[in-house]
Amino acid sequence: MTAAETQPLTFRVNLAAPLDLGGYKAQEGYAALRKALKELQPADVTRLVKESDLRGRGGAGFPTGVKWGLVPMGADAPRQKYLVCNADEMEPGSFKDRLLMEGAPHQLIEAMIISGYAIQASRGYIFLRGEYVLAAERLSRAIAEARAAGYLGAHVQGSPWSFDLFVHTSAGRYICGEETALINSLEGRRANPRAKPPFPQIAGLWGKPTVVNNVETLSNVPHIVLRGVPWFQGLSQGRSQETGTKLYGACGRVKRPGIWELPFGTSAREILEQHAGGMKEGLELKCWLPGGASTEFLMPEHLDLAMDFDTIAKAGSRMGTGLLMVVDRTQRILPVVRNLEEFFSRESCGWCTPCRDGLPWTVKLLAALECGEGRPGDIETLEQLTRFLGPGKTFCAHAPGAMEPLQSALKLFRHEFEAGIAKPAAQAVA
């Protein structure tokens, strides 16, 4: 099989000089869009995506076709609908979407046009992390090429359907990764999450039906349309019940940090030892986060697990973005966790009390323990905070996500926390 058939997301990626419109078309570019417009009805595209079992690659893993199927269709549906690409990639340790946007911008644009056609959206937005300046430049250039060629604008490729696409660079907040906070920000409002229901598919951007999908998720759509469901389902090579490929990565003290497109269900050991080259010389793995900062720590004995949603969940963590963050045995766990919690505390939108006040409190306790100035009861307070800020106790999933690395560190490395409790003066003198 060719690279296009085994590594569909990355075979056209060129970070030094991404393909322009002509080069992209020479490598099957926009062939899926032409097929969709000429041979498929919008419902057919949604059906293909649903049958492919494509799940969201942004972290939640929600079935993409099911999400699209919630959008009102037919003559009575609102005329204005929106498709939003969540490119606000601010999860610490995650950089896969940047690779796709900088290296193959036309792929994302074609994906959004096809996805917009499926839900009959009238306009699309790429909500881009503000620091991704190069991605913004390359996407804007590619959008201009696509618009000039008739792939965007009125009557796309002579069809009765019209769709246009725009890049929106955000002011930069982690909370914008939550889809309703993203929508608020796109409307020019403060980036606070919204109450659900109503869900965005019914009442989203400016009160109209809206679908929000991740960059990697959308980028799979043209390949599913062009090559079909059986091909996509076979890409995992029997390693997992999940379908397709996945952009896996590794960062930290490994020999070759990076990203690789691999069959869904590839083991963490293969990612770390074969593709990332293993730990740097003289270092030994202590623990690892399977999918960014808001997942729970796993241990070296978990390396042979398949990196898929269900397997990692059964091990007590989440696959998240699928990009491993590794910690070696020379690193104390307290500075690692405190650094993560400082990030989450800084990025809280402040909308609900547990998150607004609980995260700074967590950082204060961790900083004291890190310096050996913790007090008796601090560890128990941290354990309480992991419950008070857990699922169902806050307005959105920001604080529960922040608690995941902390609660697992408390369970796996409690002795390091206990070492941070200051000893009484008399005991210290003795």
**Of the options 3.10.20.600, 3.30.70.1450, 3.30.300.30, 3.40.50.720, the CATH number for the domain spanning 235-328:** 3.10.20.600
396, pLDDT greater than 80: yes
Residue 113 pLDDT:
98
- In angstroms, rounded to a whole number, what is the distance separating the alpha carbons of residues 9 and 13? 8
**Domain 235-328 identical in fold to domain 333-418:** no
- pLDDT-based confidence at 427, cuts 50/70/90? low
Q: Where are the beta strands (DSSP E) in 60-207?
A: 82-87, 123-128, 164-169
Residue 188 pLDDT:
93
Which residue in 87, 89, 94, 186 sits closest to 140, CA to CA?
Answer: 87
The domains of the chain are located at 3-233, 235-328, 333-418
More confident residue, 351 or 411: 411
429, pLDDT greater than 50: no
428, pLDDT greater than 60: no
63, pLDDT greater than 60: yes
- pLDDT-based confidence at 132, cuts 50/70/90? very high
CATH superfamily of the 3-233 domain: NADH-ubiquinone oxidoreductase 51kDa subunit (3.40.50.11540)
The mean predicted confidence, pLDDT, of the chain is 95
Residue 425 pLDDT:
61
Q: pLDDT digits over 278-314, tens only?
A: 999 999 999 999 998 999 999 999 999 999 999 999 9
Fold of 333-418: de novo design (two linked rop proteins) (1.20.1440)
User: Measured between alpha carbons, how far apart are the two ends of the chain, in Å?
Assistant: 71
More confident residue, 5 or 123: 123
335, pLDDT greater than 90: yes
pTM of the model: 0.94
3-state secondary structure of 371: coil
Residue 160 pLDDT:
95
More confident residue, 170 or 36: 36
The DSSP-derived string for 179-211 is HHHHHHHHTTS--PPPPSSSPTTTS-GGGS-EE
Kindly state the average pLDDT of the residues 98-118.
Answer: 98
Highest mean pLDDT among 88-97, 310-319, 420-429: 310-319
- In angstroms, rounded to a whole number, what is the distance separating the alpha carbons of residues 66 and 399? 27
Residue 158 pLDDT:
94
- pLDDT-based confidence at 93, cuts 50/70/90? confident
Give percent of the chain with pLDDT exceeding 70: 99
Kindly state the average pLDDT of the residues 21-45.
Answer: 97
Q: Using CB atoms within 10 Å of the CB of residue 314, give its burial: 0 to 12 exposed, 13 to 18 middle, 19+ buried.
A: exposed
What's the half-sphere exposure (Cβ side, CA atoms, 13 Å) at 43? 3
